[in-house]
Structure 1
């Protein structure tokens, strides 16, 4: 009954429609019949030609939406928008111009901008020109890393720039075979992790510590800053000696040994790699052992933080036979070519 009513309404309104509009609606209806006859089973399958045909008719006669029965109007509008997007993508395709740069050069530009946060496009462009790359400065600016914050150095860069002027000192206790306590005093530079000074005493005093600092930094080799903990042994004698040598005293916060991490890590290495395997007989014995370990630590022991190099840089030996030299009675060995 509803279909008959729609048919009667269509017949009554047909005289008021233009001839082209009627022909367009008839064309849509006929093409839908062709699509339905082409279906074998299941849902209706529309080809790209069918979609293009319906979209073109819709562009010319938008009123044909009322004649669709096998598809919804929303589907036709979605096809039209997708076709419009493809058309303008084709319309906006590059027609020649400057060729794209190689991926290797893009990676190099990003690497330079990451490693040098203070460099802009002109500086990176100048470096690339010196490396033999022919590239425009605008291309360099395009492939640089975009930063949300103003460029600045990180903590690693800041500490590396100040490490040559900083040293740290600390005391640690070593028991002897007779359960007496000896005190070892160390000073380490933060730059190359080199063990500047090591000595032993049974009765540490402020005067003794001040004398060790003087002997560790003769002439003009003193650092600008010296990190220490808040042990009472560092009295006014020590602070006056530091001030007289032009060293700024930097005590850490109370109960915060991690703030003197370089010295604490060195003490841990001395215990794990030396003292945990030796029974100390006397003060002279401990002093001799620590002096031998300090020589091994500075000249031969490799460090991950130094790119597997020793504090006193070791040359790479490529020729000659390999010889082994025992250190601390064979606890460690040094290998070299002869």
Structure 2
């Protein structure tokens, strides 16, 4: 034990004599390197980790020491490690992006347009889509359209055609109109009647009239007024009119629609589901508007049902229309990330119904 202590003291004395021969600058550099290594050891637990700044400091200080001084120091890194740091630093500066051989990729806009046309029109093949692109002014080869569809996993036109009941029924709904009459009791226990028409394809509702006594002449005149509000081309597009068997729907009422080429389809007795879309709107109007208001007069009822019809057509979402309103079949654009928008509220039917709109 005594001999080992004497040996340690001799080594320390020799190291001290050797330090006396060194310059103060070299000793300061060595002290800075050792201190920085101690800070790295204190920061990295359980394994020290060198950040980009630590690597730059150690590499710069080690460069200031001589070869013999570097061998005499206790460093946490080896020369091989310093060289590897330098290689990593040089690599991102002189590495060029790899260019794949062959033709450049298809533009994103043209690819998105091809996929949109294919999904919107399941009966179109790549030749039909190619022709539509040429009509739109897009210069794209037919083989490019075929390749885009193949890469997206879209089958040819005969295989991807939609043959579901949902698609079939939506196609049949064009040109079909339902008509119905519902009643509302006023605060003075007087019964008022509302005549409405509803388009099956768009679910757009039209309030034709409000009266205390429903007669055949009144219903016929409401039908004439309804068709007069449409242009000739739109009126001639009516294929079917669905109505119930009430006494006020007479031959005069039917002749108004048969004159424009429509076919009148009376529902079976006791089967209101044959006119389900019109009946559904009557129930919706009752639940959301008329059941919550004390109606005082015929004029008051007309104002309420007209305002609710405007809300239903312009704002209220409908599941069969993809949660869009009948008059707004396309959803508004989604705001971009970080865009400052404000939501405002518009009240309808005396504040009973709230509509929300987005303002930039």
The reply to whether TM is greater than 0.5 is: yes
Residues 159-203 of structure 1: per-residue CA shift (max 9 Å, x gap)? 212222111000011111111111111100011101123421111
Determine the structure 2 residue equivalent to 1:164: 174
Distance 1:284 1:134, change over 3 A: closer
Residue in structure 1 matching 2:326, options 288, 293, 311? 311
Kept in 2, the 8 Å contact 1:198–1:290? The answer is no
Q: CA deviation at 1:213?
A: 1.5
Matched, 1:323 2:344: yes
Determine the structure 2 residue equivalent to 1:284: 299
| 1: CA distance, partners of 2:128 / 2:179 | 42
Determine the structure 2 residue equivalent to 1:185: 195
| 2: CA distance, partners of 1:247 / 1:269 | 27
Kept in 1, the 8 Å contact 2:174–2:200? The answer is yes
What SS is found at the alignment partner of 1:334? strand
Distance 1:128 1:243, change over 3 A: same
| 2: CA distance, partners of 1:128 / 1:249 | 50
What SS is found at the alignment partner of 2:356? strand
What SS is found at the alignment partner of 2:177? strand
Distance 1:331 1:198, change over 3 A: farther
Kept in 2, the 8 Å contact 1:198–1:294? The answer is no
Distance 1:122 1:256, change over 3 A: same
Distance 1:245 1:205, change over 3 A: farther
What SS is found at the alignment partner of 2:174? helix
What SS is found at the alignment partner of 1:214? helix
| 2: CA distance, partners of 1:249 / 1:134 | 45
Kept in 1, the 8 Å contact 2:208–2:225? The answer is no
Q: CA deviation at 1:325?
A: 0.9
Residue in structure 1 matching 2:221, options 204, 208, 211? 211
Kept in 2, the 8 Å contact 1:169–1:263? The answer is yes
Between the two proteins, the alignment pairs up a number of residues equal to 218
| 1: CA distance, partners of 2:272 / 2:241 | 15
| 1: CA distance, partners of 2:149 / 2:282 | 54
Q: CA deviation at 1:121?
A: 12
Structure 1 gaps of 5+ residues are 1-111
Kept in 2, the 8 Å contact 1:198–1:291? The answer is no
Distance 1:129 1:251, change over 3 A: farther
Structure 2 gaps of 5+ residues are 1-117, 130-140
